[in-house]
Structure 1
Amino acid sequence: MKQLIAIMLLTFVFAGCKQDNKKSFTVNGTVTNTQAKKAYLEEVPVASMQPVIVDSAEIRGGKFSLKTEALEDAIYNIRLDQLDFPVASVINDAPEVDLNIVMSTETPLMPEKFEVKNSPASQAMKAFMLAFNEKMIRLMNNVHKADSLRSTKMADSSLAPLMQNIRQEGAALKDYALTEIKKGVNPALSMFELGYYQSTANGQALGLEPFDNKQVFALIDDITKKFPNHVSVAGLKLNLQQEIKAAEDRTWIGKQAPDFTLPDVSGKPVSLGSFKGQYVLVDFWAGWCRPCRAENPNVVAVFNKYKSKGFAVLGVSLDDDANSWKNAIQNDKLAWTQVSDLKKWQSPVVALYKFNGIPFNVLIDPQGKIIAEGLRGIDLENKLAVIFP
């Protein structure tokens, strides 16, 4: 469910209302250190975040002018020739925006920097991206350091301070995004900041915690109150109400974990209910699943770290060959209880837990309630660090 908002911000198109009061918007641009012949202006509607080319112009003497008409404030990308990515982005909060783009001399297809004038919202958006990315780079560097420490089997005492630092940096990055969103100086800017954080939190293995659905809805509701005439944000709010309800119906979080019984490697029946009273990670995997095997070292690390504190793992394999299953358990050093009926995708647990891909897991509290799902990598470590401080 945590990916719902990122998907919504990237895919939903609201087209149910019409306005007649269009306003003109012009980007007067200069670009240096480039051989590009043409510039393109792409509108990125607040509701859809799907770029649409609205104008193009020849670059003459390093200068270009792009024009369009808009119903309301939105994000606009500037692209050069056939580049797959924009070299700058602006917001149409003023009739004309002056833009100066400097391309890199070392990497000609990449922008080195850009300056924007006459647009407070565009300047604020640029400042947000620069500050956010600077914080994220520091976080990424520490995550990579933690991965290196794990691969060298360093003691937990060496890893613990770094993990604490990662959690603090992640929380600080989330707080920064929230503060900027709540400033609410422009609806397009606030929605951009929200989408920027959510897509980063959902798309990077950084342990960032996305805003949950209730938080996102509250933020969008606040934006609609500040800017009641912005049609796209109002439309997104209405659509999210329906999508959030549907997502809440699909998620396991907050529900009691369905019990099941499967044979272990020796053929002895093991029930999920027998783990009640512990925090248990039910880990659905298979020996033939490469992503599962790549994730196994992370599960081994947290199991060894927290098994003495009341944490257990129950591995549920979708293998169909007993020897392959047992070899994978031995090779990956999986020292927890493993069960399988060797029916692959025909196993009843697939329909019971309604997943269509592995690795997949659910984290269950001592009362048998599911408190998290789909935890991988540093997200699993961070969740358990909160439970077992």
Structure 2
Amino acid sequence: MKKIITILLVGMLLASCKTDSKSVEQPLDGYIISGTAPGVYNGIRVYLKSNDQRGKMITRDTAVVMNERFTFDGKIVNPEVWLLSGNSIKGTLPIIVENKAISVELNKDNIRASKISGTKANEDLIAYEAKVQDISTKRNQLGGQIRTAANAEEKNKLTAEYAELNKQVSEMPINYIKEHPKSLYAMVLIDKLMSQRDTDFNQVTELFDGLDSSLTNSKFGSDVKAKLDAVKRQREALSATEIGKVAPKFTAPTPDGKQLALDDALGKVTIIDFWAAWCGPCRRENPNVVKVYNKYHSKGLEIIGVSLDGTSRQKDPKDAWTKAIEQDKLTWNHVSNLSYFNDPVARAYNIRSIPATFILDENGTIIAKNLRGADLEAKISELLD
């Protein structure tokens, strides 16, 4: 009797698990993507790929097809859209990877016709991509009709229709996010919008704030918000250093440990020169800067060198900094927090690469930037000769 009861309990538990798996997305400690691949030979590799922060396509995970099946498993911090592809399969299939169980029925002849199930986010992705594909098909058809239009009137009409379709595509992410505030895919779209150069970040902030709290309060939501705030700060810093703006004020340590403020170092013309001892292009440019300084210092030119030394590869960043100043004969003012690109001054000026220069007038207004070589000397000559 005891054995029978045990069997019944196990059966009930299995039945319960089976029912739950169909009705509720099961959060896991990592992702499990179970795939079927009819017609795909044993040994064929399939991949999950995505773009890294520099836009380079990299492989995130690899699996091998055996008996027309494959499995990916791993762990991801936040949901991301990756691309599923295979060695003998044309094209790629977008898939939202999150720490849940996901199933894929791979169509080797038309990968976009593959089926993804197991998560609501992928259902939303598939529906969205279907609309995009529908518009793309219409655009391709219109493109052919425009090329073979019988007259200018017909061509103009078709061109206007084509432009309207382009507008629909550009507005799709915005409209989707507004209409689906509870969809995880809406958050994925916001994350994607932030990587586009022409994004209106005030609009993106409004879209984020309009999402359901279940999304904005999630780990993914917190990370997207942090990224959004960081990008907004970068844009604001970039705007603050446009030509015609007053240069951001700063005070920073000199090599002897004193504090030097920008206002105390301004000349009739001032160059703020971002550089570092480890930076080859900076060191190669230094002789030209020395030449310009020696020629125009007596006429009112001042230079403030802001060093971005402090990389972890330097054993003694301050020693490298001061030795480079001496070796290159840089006899002007110098400051540095020895914090690499995290230097507060570099962050205030949105410095992403060096050498970088800003030329200020006597009032501290930016009048030119990022001039090197002959162009730098020509500009200083124009201002002081």
Task: State the TM-score, normalizing by the size of structure 1.
Answer: 0.45
- Structure with the greater alpha carbon radius of gyration: 2
